[in-house]
Structure 1
């Protein structure tokens, strides 16, 4: 843990990798001031069934509502670990340079995915979240504790737009979308201006 403290003091961007698989606790993350958490780790999912970090992310968001979520493939390119592309982030940066990309990541100006795309996400008046996406069948607004909202196309037709109102008593919310193949994408936390 000394290495984490040193890296943090030098301005490194700290990400809690594979939270389900690693067995670390939320207290560990909060103590070391991580900036992000893997909401999905593809290698841990296909190899061990422990790649979903959504529970851990939500637990951290209860106390640190600006914690960023990242999806990764976690390719190691080693024998016994076939290359798999299954998780990534899509960064909205003003230019294609390492500096601009890292600045956008630090600001949370990206989304994570295993398949679907967010074309855009914004918050309108009265904390209404509006998003345009690639074709999806489920959209969820996930909030603190047991709170959440859901929209679905039960007739199996795809939707490409969704909107939710973030309740005033939610300190944060995040969008999760799912396509017809069960692939998901996640927004970063949407902070409530009234929460």
Structure 2
């Protein structure tokens, strides 16, 4: 008889016994210091009044020093730069302490330099339509080791209509890459504000600081959203079950190649390893080849939230 391997779900979220809160933030946007329409402090005040907990202005190839903003806000300010590659792709450098040479490095070279400097590198708006070669499969294939990709970029709504880029995320996840999905405003004007954000899971006992926020974003302790709120997300039953609680109207469970394995009405749902193994839509029954499960929470209109992936690994 063929032996069936036992598998577990591996979560990036905090253990269920840790008391936490969700910190809302935006880490991609622009002021008059690059190509935005408002002054930096005007933007900072707007996001603080909207209830954000952390914030970054990632000017194009220019580092706006954290010290210029932090004295004027209670939000935690994250230093950031949006770096232009030589073929005009842009990558986010969170935790920036320097400006990298603009329009001279490949995306891979930018990523390597950001990692060497101890920062977080995110591939920005891979669905940027004016450039046919902006994020081809071949180019993305060269980015092994990238930790983040924008799956929803608010300004793209105004520019090109289709802001969603989860297809590029699933493409990389289906290669077995452990890459995390971010949602941002990339605001250039006031109409671009408060469209998409991330909520970082933050222990109540821990003081909020930029390095901690970046670490949480690097390690996957957050969800991305355009309006749906997730209150709880965790593994249980010895990592044999994932459960989620949200204010969504419908929950979708998604696996390799973007296949929707399960749809559930309402905002609360769970998925067990047994259900996954027996799911008729999982084409390859070897769960080691499924790689991941992620959750999309759908609300009214354009409102959604996306969990980070849960990895499927065999028991040792």
- Tell me the TM-score normalised to structure 1 length: 0.85
1:124 deviates by: 2.1
Q: Deviations over 1:149-184 (max 9, x none)?
A: 23243xxxxx23111235251210100001133411
Q: Deviations over 1:42-101 (max 9, x none)?
A: 111232123111000000001244200000111124xxx733321100001233211211
Match of 2:194 in 1: 85
Match of 1:156 in 2: none
Q: Deviations over 1:20-40 (max 9, x none)?
A: 116312432342332101110
Match of 1:164 in 2: 271
Of 236, 243, 254, 1:130 maps to 243
Q: Distance in 2 between matches of 1:36 and 1:3?
A: 13
Query: 1:127–1:193: 8 Å Cα contact kept in structure 2?
Result: no
Q: For this pair of structures, how many residues does the alignment match?
A: 186
Q: Distance in 1 between matches of 2:140 and 2:117?
A: 18
Runs of 4+ aligned structure 1 residues displaced above 6 Å come to: none
Query: 1:138–1:150: 8 Å Cα contact kept in structure 2?
Result: no
User: Are 2:131 and 1:24 aligned?
Assistant: no
Q: Which runs of 5+ in 2 are unaligned?
A: 1-105, 278-286
Q: Say what the alpha-carbon RMSD is for the aligned residues.
A: 2.1
Q: Distance in 2 between matches of 1:27 and 1:123?
A: 35
Q: Secondary structure at the match of 1:91?
A: strand
Match of 2:293 in 1: 173
Q: Which runs of 5+ in 1 are unaligned?
A: 154-158
Q: Distance in 2 between matches of 1:30 and 1:13?
A: 19
Q: Which has the higher contact order (CA 8 A, sep 6+)?
A: 2
Q: Distance in 2 between matches of 1:183 and 1:111?
A: 13
Change (3 A) 1:8 1:62: same
